Amino acid sequence: MHNGALVAPCTRDKIFAMGRKFFGTDGIRGRTNAGVMTAATAMKVGQAAGTYFQRGDHRHRVVIGKDTRLSGYMLENAMTAGFTSVGMDVVLLGPLPTPAVAMLTREMRADVGVMISASHNPFEDNGIKLFGPDGFKLSDEDELAIEALLEEELGLAPAGEVGRARRIEDARGRYIHAVKASLPHNLRLDGLRIVVDCANGAAYTVAPSALWELGAEVIAIGVEPNGKNINLGVGSTHLDAIKAKVREVRADIGIALDGDADRLIVVDEKGQTVDGDQIMALIGSQMAARGSLTGGGVVATVMSNLGLERFLKSKGLDLVRTAVGDRHVLEKMREGGYNVGGEQSGHMILTDHATTGDGTIAALQVLAALVSSGKPASQTLHLFDPVPQLLKNVRFAGGKPLEADSVKDAIAQAEARLAGRGRLVIRPSGTEPVIRVMAEADDAEEVAEVVDAICDAVRKAAA
């Protein structure tokens, strides 16, 4: 168990905090037609990435998917123009989850994959995520190399070598087949009534179809995208709608995805939330019992609850923590040979089945456990009692309040108070002038006092 820990920004966050113009901690993201998220930038990214990934003497190919945002049309066309202008062929997948794009990049032997999405953000935002030919997100080195090319005048292909673009119609079917293959062949979902909330996003057809084809009775919500309603009052970050529907139709379970379907939050038959920590506890412990868990534990971030750590320890398993972000989780998984990782927020990475977070595949592992148990979701999915945890954000105008002696003293006092009984995490946001203060321990009142004391010290130091 950890007592207290001040978590500084990771090396990657420091790199991008030093003035990267385009790439952030997870691709390029911003408000549509403002800053970097314009058609002109998207075309330039296509040219830069296309130039960078043209290696070898084969005909080069990129696959491009998107979620359901209105701006997806604009960015998709702009990136197509960029890639084809430097001689790369384009395969357009249409609206598909992020993990589907990663899978098809690898399966179609593409040189690079692109997902146009801002994940759980509102429709006004959009983003560009890039995948290498292995289906994994690009390394820091790859992104920095493309970033450098964005500032250069790139050579265009001769007229006879301009790339071609085509749209394939069976991309959804290919992904559905891969998703279904992740469920043990001896299991079906017959008899289960499932509410699935697709956030009016990228999984609005594939997730309900996969569940139905496996025998479930499916009640789908958040499956009427209009370009502007992605994540609007639905999905894994807005659970009121699915909780109400689960109770209304007396469903056995609810499955909530986010806009690009790489996150999963579950709702049991009573309408209670099952977050990423509980899902990792379930999947990790069941795989360990079957002898299929690798690495001897689960990888999660510093934000995962102490209750998860204690539960895994009781099973003889480790909880390996990383900085916040599914990218950091995946890096640690690949480094240590782990096949289960994720975040409390719902990113679930199961590398036996996918190269990135996949909410639908994770949902099937949960459903497999539910079918095998023969018990209600409320008895199957809540494996530990979360330790009281409190997170507060302190906004500041400027300076470096964490370097103030008064703040260091407040942190030291909090660490001493929680020593051996809880955890403390203080981290600056990588995208805005905010200090995030989190503490957890068995005594909720003590947690609140510790967090408030540090927040007050930060505010005074920043004044």
3-class DSSP state for residue 283?
helix
Q: Count other Cβ atoms within 10 Å, centred on residue 63.
A: 29
Alpha helices (H) in 10-116, listed in sequence order: 11-17, 39-52, 71-85, 98-107
Q: Phi and psi dihedrals of 129, rounded to 5?
A: -110, 140
Strand order in the sheet with 340-342: 318-322, 297-301, 340-342, 348-350
Active-site residue, from 117, 119, 236, 285 = 119
Neighbouring residues of 419: CB distance < 8 A, sequence distance ≥ 6: 3, 4
Comparing CA positions, the residue from 266, 270, 253, 242 lying closest to residue 192 is 253
Query: How far, in Å, CA of 463 to CA of 451, rounded?
Result: 18
Query: Where in 96-203 does DSSP place strands (E)?
Result: 112-116, 125-131, 165-167, 193-197
Structure tokens of 322? 């990383």
Structure tokens at 414: 């909090």
- Amino acid present at 397: A
The count of other CB atoms within 10 Å of the CB of residue 5 is 14
119 is catalytic: yes
Amino acid at the residue 269? E
Q: Which residues contact 58 (CB under 8 A, 6 or more apart)?
A: none
- What's the farthest any 2 CA atoms get from each other in the chain? 71
Measured CA to CA, the distance from residue 129 to residue 25 in angstroms comes to: 10
Any idea which residue has 């905010």 for tokens?
Answer: 434
Look at residue 412 and give its three-state secondary structure.
Answer: helix
| Distance, first Cα to last Cα, the chain | 35
Phi and psi at 94, nearest 5°, equal 75, -165
The contacts of residue 185 (CB under 8 Å, 6+ apart) are none
Nearest C-alpha neighbor of 239 from the set 199, 182, 194, 289 = 199
Whole-angstrom Cα Rg for the chain: 22
CA distance 156 to 273: 52
Dist. CA 251–CA 219, nearest whole Å: 9
| Active site members | 119
